[in-house]
Amino acid sequence: MARAIGSAATARPHSPLLLFAEAHIPKLHKNLLTMATNITFHAGSVSAEERSQLLTQKGATVWFTGLSASGKSTIACALEQHLLHLHKFAYRLDGDNIRFGLNKDLGFDEKSRNENIRRIGEVSKLFADASAIALTAFISPYRADRAVARELHDKAGLTFIEVFVDAPLSVVEERDPKGLYKKARAGEIKDFTGISAPYEAPESPEVHIKTDECDVKEAVARITEYLSSKGLI
């Protein structure tokens, strides 16, 4: 599955270098993380207040979570455009898109999913620190991983808004725009969330969107209203 999403291995499946990378890059990442000890954080001279004044907004991460085909990416795209029309700076980080670059070395097993979300938590925090509104659209199936992302923001004094994009499994299977549920049911895709891998729904999200009961326009309006109520835009 990982090769089908932006992997150079599709073009050269027998390349020894690529085979080595697939086998060892995750281990190399782990080693690099444990080796990085003699480092010092260098604080900048620009304050969060100065960035906020420049952009006339406060930074935040809007974290969309939900099953595949629940509507996360669709709502995030529409919200990004809507915020831009309001002259607010927002940037969308999409689950599939990220795997073409930053996370192309990761698969879909539990450990890879953990690392996928850890990286996105760090990246979205950087956007929020720059007073941008980061819109992250990832299945992010595990509560513990989402809690880690939230804690990163909390420790940095940044706003983290969890948006549960909720739709029953029967509904998302009927939508199935990429044909992934059909393949998962046929056993062609392993570790597929909702079928052969778990999804742990948020227990107390800031915003709960039921996409089988509302349209994209209404969803965008609700999230925008929440951002406004918190003084973020």
Set 124, 131, 140, 170: catalytic member: 140
What tens-digit pLDDT sequence spans the chain (233 residues)?
Answer: 333 333 333 344 445 444 544 554 555 455 445 567 788 888 888 888 888 888 889 999 999 999 999 999 999 999 999 999 999 999 999 988 989 998 999 888 889 989 999 999 999 999 999 999 999 999 999 999 999 999 999 999 999 999 999 999 999 999 999 999 999 999 999 989 999 999 999 999 999 999 999 999 999 999 999 999 999 99
C-alpha 7/C-alpha 225 separation (Å) is: 39
Tell me whether residue 204 is one of the annotated catalytic residues: no
pLDDT at 65: 98
pLDDT at 38: 82
C-alpha 157/C-alpha 44 separation (Å) is: 16
3-state secondary structure of 2: helix
pLDDT at 8: 38
How far apart, in Å, are the Cα atoms of 174 and each of 64, 153, 167, 170, 180?
Answer: 21, 36, 11, 6, 11
Q: Which of 18, 191, 4 is nearest to 111 (CA)?
A: 191
Dihedral of the alpha carbons of 95, 188, 199, 216, in degrees to the nearest 10: 50
Domains, the chain, ranges and CATH?
1-43 (no CATH), 53-229 (3.40.50.300)
Q: Which of 225, 205, 193 is nearest to 83 (CA)?
A: 225
